[in-house]
């Protein structure tokens, strides 16, 4: 935060303050201190997901000015997340998980999602992963 203040990066400073505010809000809501990186990553992932949803809504409402703001915030938030997996890496993880739990049909979807969520740990959009698993298990 200090670096953003010193360098005059207003957008980055705003997003950092939003992250801190979200973490404090979760601490207040859950009455627990957040001291684990995975919990902070989950909060940042949630913030990115919220902004992606907003982009869809603003695009539908023909509000390009708000879309640009949300996309800028997403870009800054993603700098604080681990490197995202590419499609091939995601497919390899899905193959690995499906073979580990011996998933054969859509009934195993819950088990597969629980197992892969641990392995991905914020490095991919879970909605895309879910669609991929669903399509594989529906065959």
The answer, yes or no, to whether residue 108 has pLDDT greater than 90, is: no
Give the alpha-carbon dihedral of 132, 97, 89, 51, to 10 degrees. 50
The answer, yes or no, to whether residue 99 has pLDDT greater than 80, is: yes
Task: List pLDDT tens digits, range 68-87.
Answer: 999 999 999 999 988 888 88
Instruction: State residue 17's pLDDT score.
Output: 95
Task: List pLDDT tens digits, range 6-59.
Answer: 999 999 999 999 999 999 999 999 999 988 888 898 899 899 999 999 999 999
The yes/no answer on whether domain 87-137 falls in CATH 1.10.10.1100 is no
Concatenating the DSSP letter of every residue in 20-47 gives: HHHHHHHHHHHTS----HHHHHHHHHHH
Average pLDDT over residues 100-107: 84
Instruction: State residue 107's pLDDT score.
Output: 85
- CATH-assigned architecture of domain 2-78: Orthogonal Bundle (1.10)
Q: How many CA atoms lie within 13 A of 78 on its CB side?
A: 16
Three-state SS at 102: coil
- What pTM was estimated for this model as a whole? 0.75
Domain with CATH 1.10.1510.10 in the chain: 2-78
Average pLDDT over residues 1-9: 89
Confidence of residue 119 (pLDDT cuts 50, 70, 90): confident
Query: Angle, nearest 10°, between helix axes 109-120 and 87-100?
Result: 130
Domain with CATH 1.10.10.410 in the chain: 87-137
Q: Which residue pairs, CB below 8 angstroms and at least 24 apart, start in 8-15?
A: 11/72, 11/73, 11/76, 12/76, 14/73, 15/73, 15/76, 15/77
Concatenating the DSSP letter of every residue in 77-90 gives: HHTTSPPPP-HHHH
Helices and strands in the chain, H and E counts? 7, 0
């Amino acid at each position: 935060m200090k670096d953003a203040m010193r360098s005059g990066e207003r957008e980055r400073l705003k997003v950092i303050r939003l992250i801190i505010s979200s973490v404090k809000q979760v601490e207040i809501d859950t009455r627990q201190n957040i001291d684990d990186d995975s919990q902070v990553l989950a909060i940042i992932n949630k913030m990115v997901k919220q902004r992606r949803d907003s982009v869809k809504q603003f695009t539908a409402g023909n509000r390009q000015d708000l879309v640009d703001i949300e996309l800028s915030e997403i870009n800054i938030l993603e700098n604080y997340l681990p490197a995202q997996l590419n499609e091939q890496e995601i497919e390899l993880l899905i193959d690995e998980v499906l073979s580990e739990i011996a998933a054969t049909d859509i009934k195993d979807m819950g088990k597969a999602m629980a197992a892969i969520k641990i392995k991905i740990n914020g490095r991919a959009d879970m909605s895309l992963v879910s669609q991929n698993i669903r399509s594989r298990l529906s065959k």
